[in-house]
Amino acid sequence: MTAVKRAFILLLIALAIRSAQGHQQIYSVVDFHAAADGKTDDAQAFLATWQAACSDPSRPVMLVPGRRTFLLSQVTFQGPCKSPITIRLDGNIVAPNGIWTTKPADLLAFHAVNGLTVDGNGEIDGRGAIWWDCYNKRLLGFSLCNDLTVRRIHLKDSAEKHMTLFQCSQVIVDSVSITSPADSPNTDGITVAWSNNTYISSCSIQTGDDCVSILSYTKNVTVTQSTCGPGHGISVGSLGRFETAKVEQVTVSNCTFVGTMTGVRIKSWQGGKGYAKGFLFESLNMTDVQNPIVIDQFYCPQRNCHTEPGGVAISDAKFIDIQGTSSEQEAIQLMCSQSVHCHGIYLSNVKLTWAKHTAPANAAILNAHGTTEGLVVPGIQFSNNL
Ligand SMILES: *[C@@H]1O[C@H](CO)[C@@H](O)[C@H](O)[C@H]1NC(C)=O
Ligand SMILES: *[C@@H]1O[C@H](CO)[C@@H](O)[C@H](O)[C@H]1NC(C)=O
Ligand SMILES: *[C@@H]1O[C@H](CO)[C@@H](O)[C@H](O)[C@H]1NC(C)=O
Ligand SMILES: *[C@@H]1O[C@H](CO)[C@@H](O)[C@H](O)[C@H]1NC(C)=O
């Protein structure tokens, strides 16, 4: 055999072995000396695993094996990586059982990682109870991540927001469940800001604040086939307090709300600038929701705001096929500012009744322009001719 032939055969054998492995190297945190006892901080082991996987060019998997618990202090997983990367999260992660930072921070942060998938049956427990009177500590943060998929994992008891998407695009969040007590403050489920093309489906979110909140500079968000409650509902905003608002193309469809504060809501501060437009709220089931349909141009949670001219322009919002019960009489609130009215509001096939009361639900309308079609209960008196 010539040297060239021998080299060629060796190459074929090497290729065969590589293809038998499916080209995909698995990096288990246990092989990088994670203690997996739920007591020792495994942050360094996770970072070492990430560094190895992230520099592998053939679609590596970072494995957090099941039936074990890993204690993690604050960890940032930095991209970019050499290729798309999957984190298989079958084991459970717990936050330290104490105050782990005094600054705004994410327990687990992913920064500038493109082609990231986080998938598995594992749980991330923020052990947030001791935090619930201070804020700005989030559980799982993604920033500057394109082509991101988060699937199946369970998030629990964050100190504040559970999952944040900031400056991300092409995001799929599927079959993720999130739980924290109804009275835990500011524990939003999923927050989307400065992001494009986010698709949230089949999620179950039970928290103390918004199930999903959609903040400024965000375009094309869908939330579908998901359940919400307890919590404050699915909210756009609050908008226009510090920034010029820009939100467009938001769809919430086929979702169920049980016992939430609002169902679907667009909220903005008086005096804001910018726009929020292109909303479709469709096929929603409300059970015992305080105010199922809300547009609030006077958002002011501390109730200490002065009347200010100007406001974020809210337009093109469709509410179609929304059924169920409200726990307060005012099932619909469309409260728009005197200086920037709401335009293009459309309601069709809406039927909301006041739970446990014989009196009908009602609607509060201020400076809102639009049309209705078919059955709309409670009835709407738009401001069109004023
Ligand atoms: C979202 O799209 C806009 C243009 O429509 C672009 O300016 C912006 O950078 C995009 N944001 C992200 C996070 O990709
Ligand atoms: C909106 O986002 C979804 C999900 O990421 C994507 O599939 C779709 O193409 C986007 N639509 C537009 C008009 O950009
Ligand atoms: C709602 O879900 C049903 C069944 O899962 C599906 O056929 C329908 O297209 C969905 N509708 C919307 C508006 O997403
Ligand atoms: C709405 O949700 C309630 C409670 O979850 C359920 O009992 C009811 O069947 C649902 N209605 C529709 C039309 O899906």
Supply the residue whose CA is at minimum distance from atom 10 of ligand 2: 197
Mutate-to-test residue for ligand 1 from 143, 148, 196, 219, highest number of ligand atoms within 8 A of CB: 196
Atom of ligand 2 nearest to the CA of 171: 5
Report the nearest-CA residue for atom 1 of ligand 1. 196
Q: Is the CB of 199 under 6 A from ligand 2?
A: yes
What pLDDT digit, counting tens, does each position of 334-352 carry? 999 999 999 999 999 999 9
285 lines ligand 4 (CB under 6 A): yes
Check residue 19 and give its pLDDT.
44
* Residue-wise pLDDT tens digits, 13-64: 544 444 444 568 999 999 999 999 999 999 999 999 999 999 999 999 999 9
CATH of domain 24-194: 2.160.20.10
pLDDT tens, 206-235?
A: 999 999 999 999 999 999 999 999 999 999
pLDDT of residue 235: 98
306 is catalytic: no
Q: Whose atoms come closest to the Cα of 196: which ligand?
A: 1
Is a pLDDT exceeding 60 seen at residue 121?
A: yes
Q: What are phi and psi of 248, to 5 degrees?
A: -150, 155
Q: Is 256 in the pocket of ligand 4 (CB under 6 A)?
A: yes
Q: Where does residue 165 rank: exposed (0-12), middle (13-18), buried (19+ CB within 10 A)?
A: buried
In three-state secondary structure terms, 48 is: helix
* Nearest-angstrom CA–CA distance, 29 and 22: 20
CA of 45 relative to ligand 4 center, distance in Å? 46
What is the CATH topology of the domain spanning 210-386?
A: Pectate Lyase C-like (2.160.20)
What b/e string do you get for 262-289 counting C-beta neighbours within 10 Å, with b at 16 or more? bbbbbbbbbbbbbbbbbbbbbbbbbbbb
198 beta partners: 171, 221
pLDDT at 15: 46
SS3 294: strand
Q: Is 274 helix (H, G, I), strand (E, B) or coil?
A: strand
Identical fold for domains 24-194 and 210-386, yes or no, is: yes
Answer yes or no: is pLDDT of 383 > 70. yes
Among 165, 198, 199, 249, residue to substitute to test ligand 2 (most atoms within 8 Å of Cβ): 199
Q: What's residue 1's pLDDT? A: 52
How far is Cα 382 from Cα 386, in angstroms, rounded to an integer?
9
Q: What percent of the chain has pLDDT over 90?
A: 80
- CA gap 257, 260 in Å, rounded: 6
Mutate to test the pocket of ligand 3, among 227, 250, 253 (most ligand atoms within 8 A of CB): 253
pLDDT in tens, 76-98: 999 999 999 999 999 999 988 87
Residue 209 known to be catalytic: yes
pLDDT (average), residues 285-304: 95
Both tokens assigned to 154: 């369970």
* Six token digits for residue 346: 């459309």
Q: Taking the alpha carbons of 28, 31, 33, 35 in that order, is the dihedral positive or negative?
A: positive
Q: How far is the CA of 180 from the centre of ligand 1 (A)?
A: 32
Distance CA 264, CA 332 (A): 10
Residue 179 has pLDDT above 60, yes or no: yes
Domain ranges across the chain: 24-194, 210-386
Mean pLDDT, to the nearest integer, of 173-201?
A: 95
